Chain A
């Protein structure tokens, strides 16, 4: 059973529909007691980092997510949900994140070193480059295109955490993971067959019980 953390941010409908298509059982709730009973967590998210952290803190979900991460059970953040896993973000000032993964979230600069402008948000289909194709999340997944929509990007992450990336002026960490804590910057639920295979792999990880952080 997968628990989708409903903290009021994001398009929960498309995530849950994607799980239904894959015939993965899930519950969508903000109730910590119910989430505790699940075997894997999905942390979705669309919107602003500070609002999201504020909500997680107020709902007691921050502490819960830390306990969860320590338990070794799988956790997958999607889009903003992935960014929240990192140390901090500079979105509308400095905000501390969940600090489950090392790195910080910064806005796309919007122009190259040569002063050439590029569009922000990074919106559309971009190609993945796998750095750790052997990772369980990426097994039997095509190194293809996935759908991104974001204006902020993870930087200064540890090399070790980067499972896949895409190129958009800067290198965009696209899939990250350290033990049981994982994330995708793109929307797997909107990324056609490539995204669906990643979600299917997450479903398998959940069934297998994840990997302890200790």
Chain B
């Protein structure tokens, strides 16, 4: 039986992990390779690196990071952030990433999903969706540019379109829950999960280990992503997995 995946997410800027990493036992809490190995040891099933570099140099550095991570890590990892073209995808995938995550660029030009899927296969193409509930729409609206710009897309129609174009996986972030630490957005996750045939990674809102059980059992997510809860050691991947096993959720 396929296990539910726990996916820590690391924000990388100019080759360094940034934003709230509290690891006193690491030599260098900003080193992506060291952190990746740390999460691997804890039993993380997969990792996501989000490149938040603003400069060209920062992006080039990210490729070096990807190479180094690929050299040490024996679990899959995804790279997202700033991937705007087939060339960008080639760069990180050839450096050793297993998947790329497309967000704003895919909304701007949906054909990019197809180009990536045709060239590398759907299994390499993750479409990241930032969604926020919209009263008027009566559903969730898609935002781009890190949640700053609203689009005309409704979440279910965009998720379906992304899969039709070749997305192999959906990384679904709830903007309503993100940072709130009150649990994943179960309604959103459930709705998208029921609409697509590919795996859905739920993201945004993890505050405690119980939240993971909810998103797997109630919302039937295939994987769950979290950042600060792991970085700040509020819980650990190992602890979450032990808890999930007690709750009868199949994990590695």
Contacts and interface: CB of A to CB of B under 8 A. Distances in A.
User: Interface on chain A toward B: helix, strand, loop, or mixed SS?
Assistant: mixed
Contacts of A144: 252
A189 B96 CA distance: 11
The bracket for how many chain B residues form the interface is 20 to 34
A147 B76 contact: yes
A46 B124 contact: yes
A195 B121 contact: no
A12 B74 CA distance: 14
Given A13-B95, A14-B96, A121 B198 contact: yes
B96 A11 contact: yes
A149 B123 contact: yes
Interface string B199-234: 100000000000000000000001100000000000
Interface string B2-36: 11010000000000000000000000000000000
Interface string B26-62: 0000000000000010000100000000000000000
B169 interface: yes
Nearest to A126: B2
B2 A125 contact: yes
Contacts, number: 89
B66 to A, nearest CB: 9
Contact of A125 (B45, B168, B198): B45
B145 interface: no
B243 interface: no
B122 interface: yes
B222 to A, nearest CB: 7
B238 interface: no
Contact of B222 (A21, A124, A193): A124
A167 interface: yes
Interface residues of A, number: 37
Nearest to B74: A192
Interface in B68-83: 70-72, 74-76
Interface string A152-174: 00000000000000011000000
Interface in A85-143: 110, 117, 119-127
Contacts of A120: 197-198
Report, nearest first, the 9 A-B pairs whose CB atoms are least far apart. Answer: A145-B252, A13-B96, A149-B123, A125-B252, A125-B3, A17-B71, A190-B76, A47-B121, A124-B2
Interface of B: 1-3, 5, 40, 45, 70-72, 74-76, 93-96, 98, 120-124, 168-169, 197-199, 222-223, 252
